[in-house]
């Protein structure tokens, strides 16, 4: 029960990593405000309540300042304060290359994926500091570490999130508010559903995630558990870091790998 008595906001809570994290936070004693653009976020909060947890839901555009400010105020009013913000909401923006990507698409991806976490820090950090400190966790991506794991728009937005975590950790010096990021590799979520659906229909699931040493994609709970670690007192001395949770994909530049048990050619 690492989060007993803690007040937590999770954005992107309607599905995938956000839903898994909201459920796990609540299971460890937290009061959770589940925030998402999708109406189905209400069902996530209800499922938590049905199992004896404490949760509320709100609809939010994570890249809109009024919505983020309102969500922080809602958590403070409902739960008496705010201890943790998991800024997880994001969009993919498709896979178009630089020359086929419209500026309006890049702008929207940056608005949700980068401006959203910035707004979370701006509005949540003062409230968290009032409680004596806590944690902000941002969802970046392995695509933000180096090329080859996402579109230009998505990759640039997530690289920005990594740097934002570092800058925010410094600018919150003395507040006891820690800021870290997780960098997921390929994970089965609502965002990646088309990829997984195609692989299943084509009978090619064995190829999904095969570029990383574990040779598989992640499940949302595997990412959520790392977010919970960074939000907890177990990570009390972890600050300004971007933790790759990608099966080892980012441990190497792309190479022709030697197959297990076989001689390299």
- State pLDDT tens for residues 61-98: 999 999 999 999 999 999 999 999 999 999 988 888 88
Residue 102: which residues within 8 A CB-CB, separation 6 or more?
none
Q: What pLDDT, on the 0 to 100 scale, is given for residue 224? A: 97
Average per-residue pLDDT in the chain?
A: 91
260 given a catalytic annotation: no
Is the model more confident about 231 or about 189? 231
Question: Strands 134-139 and 31-36, how do they pair?
Answer: unpaired
C-alpha 117: how far from chain center: 10
Question: Other CB atoms closer than 10 Å to residue 176's CB: what's the count?
Answer: 15
144-191 pLDDT tens trace: 998 887 889 999 999 999 999 999 999 999 999 999 999 999 887 767
- Global pTM value: 0.91
Catalytic residue among 118, 154, 237, 260: 154
Predicted confidence band at 201 (pLDDT cuts at 50, 70, 90)?
confident
pLDDT confidence of residue 254: 64
pLDDT band at 115 (very low <50, low <70, confident <90, very high): very high
Given a cut of 50, whether residue 264 has pLDDT beyond it is no
For position 186, what pLDDT does the model report?
85
Share of the chain above pLDDT 70, in %: 89
């Amino acid at each position: 029960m690492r989060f007993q008595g803690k007040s937590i906001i999770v954005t992107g809570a309607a599905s995938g990593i956000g839903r898994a994290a909201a459920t796990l936070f609540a299971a460890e004693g937290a009061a959770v405000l589940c925030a998402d653009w999708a109406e189905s976020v209400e069902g996530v909060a209800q499922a938590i309540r049905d199992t004896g947890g404490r949760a509320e839901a709100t609809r939010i555009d994570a890249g809109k300042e009024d919505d983020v400010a309102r969500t922080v105020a809602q958590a403070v009013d409902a739960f008496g304060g705010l201890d943790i913000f998991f800024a997880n909401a994001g969009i993919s923006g498709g896979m178009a290359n630089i020359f086929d990507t419209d500026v309006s698409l890049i702008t929207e991806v940056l608005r949700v994926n980068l401006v959203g976490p910035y707004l979370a820090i701006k509005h949540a950090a003062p409230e968290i500091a009032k409680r004596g400190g806590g944690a902000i966790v941002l969802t970046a991506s392995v695509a933000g570490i180096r090329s080859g794991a996402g579109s230009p728009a998505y990759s640039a937005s997530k690289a920005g999130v990594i740097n934002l975590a570092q800058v925010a950790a410094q600018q919150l010096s003395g507040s006891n508010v820690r800021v870290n990021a997780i960098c997921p590799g390929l994970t089965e979520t609502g965002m990646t559903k088309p990829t997984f659906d195609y692989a299943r229909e084509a009978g090619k699931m064995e190829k999904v995630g095969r570029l990383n040493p574990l040779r598989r994609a992640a499940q949302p709970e595997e990412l959520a558990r790392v977010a919970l670690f960074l939000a907890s007192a177990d990570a009390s001395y972890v600050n300004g870091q971007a933790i790759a949770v990608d099966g080892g994909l980012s441990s190497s530049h792309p190479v022709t790998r030697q197959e297990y048990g076989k001689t390299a050619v």
